[in-house]
Structure 1
Amino acid sequence: MSARTDTSEDFAPRPRVLTRLLLPAALLVLAVLAAVAVVRLPPHLACGGLGSGLVERGGECIGVTDGGPAFLPGPEELHEEYRRIQSLIKAENDRVADDGRPSVKVALVSTLTPDTGGPLSPEQILHSLRGAYVAQMRANHGEEARLGDPGLQIRLHLANAGKVQDKWEPVVEELIGMTDDRAPLIAVVGWGLSVQDTEDAAARLSEAGIPMVSSVASATGLNHSTIPGLVRITPSNDDFVRALAEYADARPDLSRAALVLDENSEDRHVNTLTEAFRAHFGDRIVSEEPFGGTTVGDEYRYVEFFNIVQNVCGTGAEMVLFSGRTANLHDFLDRLRGRYCTERPVTVLFVETGPVIAEEDVRPLDDSDITVVQASANDPRWSLEEDSGAPAGFAPFYRAHQEYLGGQGLPAELSDGYALAHHDALMTAVLAIRSQYSERRGELPSSAQIRPALFQLKDGNSVKAASGSLQFPAARAGDPGGRPVPVIEIPDRGTGHPVHHTPLE
């Protein structure tokens, strides 16, 4: 018998047999891929899909975008407003990318997924985005010399570090990586909270040589002195309390103070506020009344101030220096209205970026002989009227807001100060960037060259910002010099809202 000749055809399975062999393997592969998808994909898919630049962390979408996909925090009724402003930012960024002129990126880092119980409200963050967008449009389209050479266009990117800025690490690393882009990231603005995470994140950006302009984080010392390259728009807590001390000096009926202070050791805002009250009110403080307050990252909890109010009455103090967060101020005022010493007027001194008393709460304060005196970053009475006391830069900002956003929310949304602060932060960064662009005759500057340029914004190069004329002399270590600090009485007792100005040295 002759041997059989083997061929590949002889040993090839029939098509049906091949299908039976491959099908289980294919199903196994699909099952594995599905399992991987279940483990890996949802964090990305929940935040705009793969390639969005965002990832879900602890229920929040974390990362950096150019305006899309949109962050949608807070109640649903605000979502359309959030979509609108971020779509406008993205449209402008896309236009700049196609424009052909050189451009650079500036990132706004903030708590872009706030909730109603967080340290910053969804409304405040919405106003922040609108203010920054107005500054971007003025920079790219305005013909105002005050914003530098529009030959260098500005792309505005949005970086979410979490509702209490505790998820900053991947965001900061992404921002650092963007410094090598063809249109490089060259500065960061924002930073809404005076907390340790803000300091740590800013320190990491500083190590990478990226300059920063903070908007509303006011803790004393959170500036160039501790984090090289960090300047800010807001007055420091020390500046705010100086303004309150000047107000008290002009009131001979205010000679004794009770310092009501939050003892939370991790809250840098409260700690430096307490230090400032002690420094500037000194011997006028006749008692200190500590409490355990609600700090950043905590869920709000009501604080019972009954015993503290009793003690305040017992000291005979005419004023209370309240060193705490806004939520706890309202708890204190609720209890203070029912104090046993109602025959004696009480003035409560406080610090916040914008007004803290709602219109419907003014009458109950008046009926209880309570006056809240607040050092603020802006005055809600500022308007286009010549006698409103508004800074020279306020009217151009207001008109630009009308032009680019249709005046949406004006004038009410300006009262909390967040639109102005973020507009002014981006405006300051743009001026420093473009000054170096002009000096280098059209060559893109590096982020390292922007840092010293921030401290050249003084004297004849001061920033004509919406919140006032800002200067950054080296002696102020990044805090704004010559900046107005309005002092607001609620109810208005007729003092005319005195304005303190921060020192230049």
Structure 2
Amino acid sequence: MTDGMRGIVPPETWTVRRRRRRRRLVVLGAVLVLIGSGIWGGVTLLSVCGSFGSGVTELDGECVGVTDGSYVFHSDLADVQGKLEEENARVRREAPAYVTVALLDPLTPSDDSGLPIAQVRNRLEGAYTALRRVNTEPVSGDPNPQIELVLANSGTSDEHSRRVVEQLVDLRDQENPLVAVIGLGVSTERTKWQAEQLSANDIPMVGAYLTADDLEYEHIPGLIKTSPSNRHYVEALRRHADAAGIDSTIMVRDANSDSGADLYTRSLEEEFERQMAEIMEFPTQQFTGSTGGAGGDVNLFGNVRANICASAAQRLQAVLFAGREVDLGAFIESLEFRTCADTPLVILTAGLELGALLKGQEDQLAEAKITVLSASTVDAEGWRANPAAEGTPEHYGDFRRAFQLAQFAEEHLDDGGAIMMHDALLTAAQAVRIAAPLGSASAPTADDVRAQLLNINTLYSVQGASGELSFSKQATGAGTPLGKPVPVLAYPRAPGSPSRQTGELYHVTG
């Protein structure tokens, strides 16, 4: 986060932003007059991506901005963005009243980035599935007013984020106003800044994968989320550890948490220390995690591995891993070459969807005597294989059928992104419909929708693919998904078990 971005105190309000927008329109008009008159004199137009007026601008070689799907951010997104563009066009053509919701996420990663393009595609497929459902069936109440979903690529720099947030704030003032933002990326300082700016402009938000404990309504008014917070994940792990008799652990932390830029790793570390202190018997180890997505380096863990083996000689049972998925793979690979290979090790981690990382490595993990237990947002593999199982959410089957109807591949569900983005849009749509009791006869504003975020409960709970979700005002944990199941998944699965889920299923309570 740049010093300049940290210095925006207080954030600009909607009124100030609207005045700025009007000034920009005046300047743009003057520029067009100059162009038409042949008087230019050194003024340079920004380079646009796609056609002029696409809403997407090239900045530092990256296309950032807001589009209705007509500008395709990557060739692998062409199919799902085409479907989104078609549905948005239908809404604009047929709906007597409609409002706009924006999906804010990094949408232009490379294959070796922290968010591979396949995961971006899966998230958009989940969003499209939800969009069709909320516009054509009563899954979130009366399917009116209809919803147009625009895509906002937040880019990879502070400047990109600032420009996109400005665009979103401007959309509040259009004829079919922006009434909510979903997605919001992952738990980083930049995400927090974006959420604070949107909150200051009274734009409601539904995070899809935000796990940091300070990314919640009580810290950022107007922000709710469909994912549990790290304290919920760690509580699920602690209950499992108690039931399994695990009473001797060591924590491995990412030194990047010290800067505060990665709110996920910092928050996870803090929750391990708070909830697992009694069983953390050995000195905490640390590594400097990868900042990109090319994959962690096994050499980061040489000294850590040696100390883990020294601790294993003194009855160490489990490792608490407070790092990101990109480094977990390298950590596991490093442990395969440990000197204490005959001693079984359990790795406890949280908030990571490990299906893509560990899929197909069952035999390798078993041979290395390593078991990974992850407190997870979803169990997509298990729910698909066991739709009637006790732990499968009641409404998962409805989502899966809609996903299949959209002709998306089943394996695109495995990383959990499609499920969580689907639930984020369903949640936003529920708030929209509560705020518009007259259906097609009323079009709510962002203020109207924000006022209903904590009324999404009881009769208005969200029939999510990941569980039935409720949101209400509480002393702590306002805006977290009450009732959300948090399965603890085992890699490799227990011999003979039809599911990765292990232990008693935990649910978010606040």
Q: Does 1:195 align with 2:197?
A: no
Q: TM-score, normalised by structure 1?
A: 0.86
Deviation of 1:100 after TM superposition, in Å, equals 4.0
Say which of 236, 249, 258 aligns to 2:229: 236
Partner of 2:130: 135
Secondary structure at the counterpart of residue 450 of structure 2: helix
Deviation of 1:183 after TM superposition, in Å, equals 0.8
Cα 1:496–1:420 shift into 2, 3 Å: closer
Does the 8 A contact of 1:118 with 1:164 survive in 2?
no
Partner of 1:282: 277
Partner of 1:291: 287
Q: How many residues get paired?
A: 458
Cα 1:456–1:393 shift into 2, 3 Å: same
Partner of 2:358: 358
Letter of the structure 2 residue corresponding to residue 483 of structure 1: K
Deviation of 1:499 after TM superposition, in Å, equals 5.1
Does the 8 A contact of 2:182 with 2:425 survive in 1?
yes
Partner of 1:261: 253
Say which of 48, 53, 69 aligns to 1:67: 69
Cα 1:141–1:165 shift into 2, 3 Å: farther
Partner of 1:8: none
Secondary structure at the counterpart of residue 102 of structure 2: strand
Q: Does 1:336 align with 2:341?
A: no
Q: Does 1:122 align with 2:122?
A: no
Q: Does 1:398 align with 2:391?
A: no
Partner of 2:59: 57
State the Cα deviation string for residues 92-133 of structure 1 (Å, max 9, x = none). 111111114100000000001112232212111101111001
Secondary structure at the counterpart of residue 305 of structure 1: helix
Cα distance in 1, alignment partners of residues 204 and 302 from structure 2? 46
Partner of 1:23: none
Does the 8 A contact of 1:70 with 1:82 survive in 2?
yes
Partner of 1:450: 449
Cα distance in 2, alignment partners of residues 482 and 250 from structure 1? 22
Does the 8 A contact of 1:485 with 1:502 survive in 2?
yes
State the Cα deviation string for residues 215-248 of structure 1 (Å, max 9, x = none). 0121111011111000001111111111111111
Cα 1:310–1:184 shift into 2, 3 Å: same
Letter of the structure 2 residue corresponding to residue 259 of structure 1: M
Cα distance in 1, alignment partners of residues 277 and 236 from structure 2? 15
Matches within 5 A, 1:50-199: 50-72=52-74, 79=75, 81-142=76-137, 144=138, 146-163=139-156, 167-199=160-192
Partner of 1:21: none
Letter of the structure 2 residue corresponding to residue 368 of structure 1: A
Secondary structure at the counterpart of residue 132 of structure 1: helix
Secondary structure at the counterpart of residue 244 of structure 2: coil
Deviation of 1:353 after TM superposition, in Å, equals 4.1
Cα distance in 2, alignment partners of residues 71 and 467 from structure 1? 28
Cα distance in 2, alignment partners of residues 388 and 84 from structure 1? 35
Cα distance in 2, alignment partners of residues 499 and 183 from structure 1? 46
Comparing 178-187 with 111-120, greater Cα deviation is found at 111-120
Task: Give the CA RMSD over aligned residues.
Answer: 2.2
Does the 8 A contact of 1:480 with 1:502 survive in 2?
no
Deviation of 1:307 after TM superposition, in Å, equals 1.1
Greater relative contact order: 1 or 2 (C-alpha under 8 angstroms, separation 6 or more)?
Answer: 2
Cα 1:244–1:301 shift into 2, 3 Å: closer
Does the 8 A contact of 2:489 with 2:502 survive in 1?
yes
Comparing 271-280 with 350-359, greater Cα deviation is found at 350-359
Deviation of 1:33 after TM superposition, in Å, equals 8.9
Cα distance in 2, alignment partners of residues 284 and 466 from structure 1? 35
Partner of 2:31: none
Does the 8 A contact of 2:165 with 2:198 survive in 1?
yes
Does the 8 A contact of 2:485 with 2:508 survive in 1?
no
Deviation of 1:446 after TM superposition, in Å, equals 1.7
Deviation of 1:34 after TM superposition, in Å, equals 10
Q: TM-score, normalised by structure 2?
A: 0.85
Does the 8 A contact of 2:301 with 2:331 survive in 1?
yes
Deviation of 1:165 after TM superposition, in Å, equals 7.2
Cα distance in 2, alignment partners of residues 186 and 319 from structure 1? 46
Q: Which runs of 5+ in 1 are unaligned?
A: 1-28, 73-78
Letter of the structure 2 residue corresponding to residue 433 of structure 1: V
Deviation of 1:284 after TM superposition, in Å, equals 0.7
Cα 1:85–1:35 shift into 2, 3 Å: farther
Deviation of 1:166 after TM superposition, in Å, equals 6.2
Partner of 1:376: 376
Cα 1:237–1:283 shift into 2, 3 Å: same
Q: Which runs of 5+ in 2 are unaligned?
A: 1-34
Q: Does 1:484 align with 2:485?
A: yes
Secondary structure at the counterpart of residue 360 of structure 2: helix
Partner of 2:17: none
Secondary structure at the counterpart of residue 250 of structure 1: helix
Cα distance in 1, alignment partners of residues 452 and 348 from structure 2? 37
Structure with greater Cα Rg: 1
Deviation of 1:315 after TM superposition, in Å, equals 1.4
Does the 8 A contact of 1:382 with 1:388 survive in 2?
no
Secondary structure at the counterpart of residue 383 of structure 2: coil
Seq. identity, %: 34
